[in-house]
Structure 1
Amino acid sequence: MTGIFFIMLACLTWALDTLIRYPLLGLGFSTLQIVLMEHLTLVIVTAPLLWRYRQQFFQLNVRSWGALFFIGGIGSAIGTLAFTQAFHYLNPTVVILLQKLQPVVAIVLASWFLNERIHGYFIRWAGLILLGSVVMIWPDLRAMFSQSLVISKTSMASWYGYGLTLIAVIAWGAATVCGKYLSVQKMDANAIMSGRFLMGLVVLVPLALLHTSQLQEMAAKPLLMLILMALLSGLAGMWFYYQGLNRIPAQVTTLAEQTFPIFAALINWLFLSMSLSMYQILGAVLLIAGNVGLRFKELHLTEQSSARLTQA
């Protein structure tokens, strides 16, 4: 039970992120400034890890450096920028739920870049996940088709939000594949994490210098809010997650992880008055069910493969 508690606690910290990120946007701070300061905080806090694993960084080849840069520069920086900016146009709960498309993106990209085989079960569960996403956005799809060539500003804003959400999904899904590649190369998880934040900052600093108009002075209260957000979801959340992962089987972890979108929906509804429509609730159920089924099948195949190797 302790392991499940740690996983659920991690999911709770990730869900609480919105209670800080969304109000910061409401205070007029730009997406770029929020994500920049978030990464700066995380780089400062993980600086000891960067120093501790410096030999691993020095030993990386060009391809591994490219993978690490993609994880941080595209996954962490661009992905988080798109995710945060999408809050301007969509219900944050919807943005969070649509991130459940990531396993589909990760598996497809892994088949291309890591030559991993796509099994028949993937098509079935991926179809359920995609169906869930379509159900969630169905009212907007229906409105777009009914309006023909006449598109209102409201519908354009919604589709801009969906586009940003899709960018985040692809960026984070691809970062997962790159992270898996570095893990196969025996790079330590803490080295990948600290390198991710550093590479993200490397991309964000030039963007900030090119768009200085989007930066403004932060008073003590919003600055403390931002630092708390970075430490809560960026560090504490991952620490809780790995503590749980070390205590319970992966199958149980998969189920416990599904409390994240549930926590997010409840928290956003209670504290931000952002409820979901029936279409969005039904779509969310299909998304979560597809993710659980897909992950359980992957774990089952992994166990079978391990058992065959043991017998051999």
Structure 2
Amino acid sequence: MQSSVSSVSSALRSSNSGKMAFWLVVLGAALWGVDPVFRIILLDSLTSTQIVLLEHVILFMAAAPVLWKNRAELRSVGLRQVGALLFVSWGGSALATILFTVALSNGNPNAVLLLQKLQPLFAIVLARVMLKELLPRRIGSLLLLALAGTYLLTFGFSFPFSHVDDLMQLGSLLSLGAALLWGGSTVMGRYLLGSMKYETVTSLRFVLALPLLLVITASEGAVWQLPEGTGAQFAVLINLLLQALLPGLLSLLLYYKGLSKIKASYATLAELSFPMVGVLLNWLAFGSIVTGAQLLGFLLIWTTLFTISRQQDRL
């Protein structure tokens, strides 16, 4: 009898822990949507690459003590883990962003945005192949519901392009590459968290991306132009710190802590909180009107998130 009660209690704790982990990923991804609030101000003085580089310098200073504390954990890192870390830090952070940026300038922007929405599909397939994960129940209908919600958030009820040829351009292929890298980063992150602490994975992501960002920034050849006046420079510093610490450090700590307890296929759907927060902040901070189609998109995505969160008994 006591054994039965103990088993039920343990199952309840595990279920609650899984649900909490899922919502940590939701919260972590939602914080990514805060990024434009700070980035738009910083873009008046710096290029995107310079902003990301300075952000990673700040994050390096936060990550270095963590890596020193967990240095014993680094001694057991193998070649597969190094490859996964480089995929996450170089592929997911730097290269995917570059591909997506180039895609927007070399193709139909609507087609590029539409194809980027396939990221959850790539992550789910890779998680099944590489991590042997069981897929969520009713994954087909849930994925369609999620894609429909993100479509409505981005395009509303309008058709995003007038010719099928728009989907066959170079920009579209680059967008698919970015979606694959971002989806793969979720899977590689989950793989790393099977043998490493989430604090260590977060710190290594920042540290390993720094050399690549230095090379990219140097090759860009852009002039560093900080605004004149102490007040203006102080404002840039504050915005840079907030961007590094909120959509940078805090978001990934929450994200990886949650990801360490749930499957990558669940996490990639939890990441849909990102476009929702982006639309919400555009309305609150920049006065963009939220349409009926976007409200319906919100509803579809939240339905997906709540349905997935109730499936944690299978984690």
Whether these two folds match at TM > 0.5 is: yes
Identity of aligned residues (%): 33
1:272 correspondence with 2:286: yes
Q: 1:170 matched to which residue of 2?
A: 180
Cα distance in 1 for partners of 2:274, 2:142 equals 20
1:217 correspondence with 2:230: no
- Whose helix fraction is larger, Structure 1's or Structure 2's? 1
One of 54, 72, 90 as aligned partner of 1:37? 54
Paired AA for residue 174 in structure 1: G
The answer on whether the counterparts of 2:198 and 2:256 sit within 8 Å (CA) in structure 1 is no
Cα distance in 2 for partners of 1:84, 1:289 equals 31
Paired AA for residue 130 in structure 1: L
Paired AA for residue 116 in structure 1: E
Cα distance in 2 for partners of 1:287, 1:9 equals 14
Cα distance in 2 for partners of 1:59, 1:195 equals 14
The answer on whether the counterparts of 1:41 and 1:230 sit within 8 Å (CA) in structure 2 is yes
Cα distance in 2 for partners of 1:18, 1:98 equals 21
The answer on whether the counterparts of 1:14 and 1:260 sit within 8 Å (CA) in structure 2 is yes
Cα distance in 2 for partners of 1:262, 1:30 equals 26
The answer on whether the counterparts of 1:15 and 1:261 sit within 8 Å (CA) in structure 2 is yes
Cα distance in 2 for partners of 1:240, 1:301 equals 22
Give the direction of change, closer, same or farther, for the CA distance of 1:38–1:205 in structure 2 (3 Å limit): same
Q: 2:200 matched to which residue of 1?
A: 191
Give the direction of change, closer, same or farther, for the CA distance of 1:129–1:12 in structure 2 (3 Å limit): closer
Q: 1:310 matched to which residue of 2?
A: none
Paired AA for residue 268 in structure 1: N
Could you list the per-position Cα deviations for residues 204-245 of structure 1 after superposition, in whole angstroms to 9, with x for gaps in the alignment? 1111122123x5233423233112210122234456778999
Shift of residue 260, structure 1, vs aligned partner: 6.0
Cα distance in 2 for partners of 1:86, 1:222 equals 29
The answer on whether the counterparts of 1:98 and 1:133 sit within 8 Å (CA) in structure 2 is no
Q: 1:250 matched to which residue of 2?
A: none
Q: 1:282 matched to which residue of 2?
A: 296
Could you list the per-position Cα deviations for residues 248-285 of structure 1 after superposition, in whole angstroms to 9, with x for gaps in the alignment? xxxxx99x998765554333212212233333333343
Give the direction of change, closer, same or farther, for the CA distance of 1:170–1:38 in structure 2 (3 Å limit): farther
Paired AA for residue 75 in structure 2: F
SS state at 1:197 partner: helix
Cα distance in 2 for partners of 1:133, 1:17 equals 19
Give the direction of change, closer, same or farther, for the CA distance of 1:24–1:85 in structure 2 (3 Å limit): farther
Paired AA for residue 142 in structure 2: W
CA RMSD of aligned residues (A): 4.4
1:231 correspondence with 2:245: yes
Instruction: Name the TM-score, length of structure 1 as normaliser.
Output: 0.69
Paired AA for residue 199 in structure 1: L
Paired AA for residue 54 in structure 1: R
Unaligned runs of 5+ in 2: 1-19, 228-232, 260-266
Cα distance in 2 for partners of 1:9, 1:134 equals 21
